[in-house]
Amino acid sequence: MLPIDLTGKRAFVAGVADDNGYGWAIAKALHQAGASVCVGTWPPVLGLFTKSLDRNKFDDNIEYPGGRLSFEKIYALDAVYDGPEDVPSEVREDKRYKEIPAYTIQECAAKLVADFGEKPLDILVHSLANGPEVKKPLLETSRKGYLAAVSASAYSMVALVQRFGPLMRANSSAVSLTYLASERTIPGYGGGMSSAKAALESDTHTLAYEAGRKFNMRVNCISAGPLPSRAAKAIGTIEMMVDYYRKNSPRPEVMNANEVGHLAAFLSSPLANAITGALIHADHGYHSMAMPAEIAPAQA
């Protein structure tokens, strides 16, 4: 038996706000493997998320064989802002932010140190993506919308590694989530999000080198198939995409969030010690297809 054992390790998963996305599934898999798990949640939904946990609203998806997911700590995190000086006054005064004392990346890192000591982390997970104009074709995307997508979905990974790298113990791991639209055209996935995912993947290679040398950290990226999570429904075509993948993948199955969770747990474990700077597809093989299976010749 060769188990994934993360006992004694602590993970920080950025981008968990409900129980049906890849971030939640990764947190659950890491916890199942023995890690303690902290999460960073977008301030406008932090209250709803914590209340839902307290009221057992997520109980249908909180159990796993032999245990139950629990979070060691839940932090407010808006990864668009590196430090408090970067927060615009209109955001600072917004009622959704006003009563939250600290939520920038630097402030979140400082809270982790205050709560757990100088080097509290072993695993960092980036499950963040946002494109305010994602429903617009690229040709209709504004500069502001494009840069916002890159900032929230790609640069946020760079900023997290910058500020969380010094908090990571030796032989640590960072994992991010991308999508095939970085490599191929996916009509309907607009607003600069395809460009943001391409940037995230390119940065994975450079961060693997720089953070590997500076922090002894491995950095990898998972290209996951479409999942009809609440966040993904903002795209507007997610159900169609899920069905198309199912019909045209080598293995005609719908993605299960736990499949990506298990891969992230493996990449975060000592079993993946030699893997860094890698882009790994978890999409039942859809990325390998060059012709729709629906029109392919019948197999004998």
Question: Would you say 117 and 167 are in contact if contact means Cβ atoms under 8 Å apart?
Answer: no
Quote the tokens at residue 212. Answer: 């590997």
Q: Which of 97, 103, 189, 245 is catalytic?
A: 189
Q: Which of 22, 179, 245, 286 is catalytic?
A: 179
189 is catalytic: yes
Determine phi and psi for 53, rounding to 5 degrees: -65, -45
179 is catalytic: yes
Q: Work out the burial of residue 162: count CB atoms within 10 Å of its CB; fewer than 13 is exposed, 13-18 middle, 19 or more buried.
A: middle
Q: Work out the burial of residue 263: count CB atoms within 10 Å of its CB; fewer than 13 is exposed, 13-18 middle, 19 or more buried.
A: buried
Q: Annotate 60-80 with DSSP letters as a single string.
A: GGTEETTEE---SEEEE--TT
Catalytic residues: 179, 189
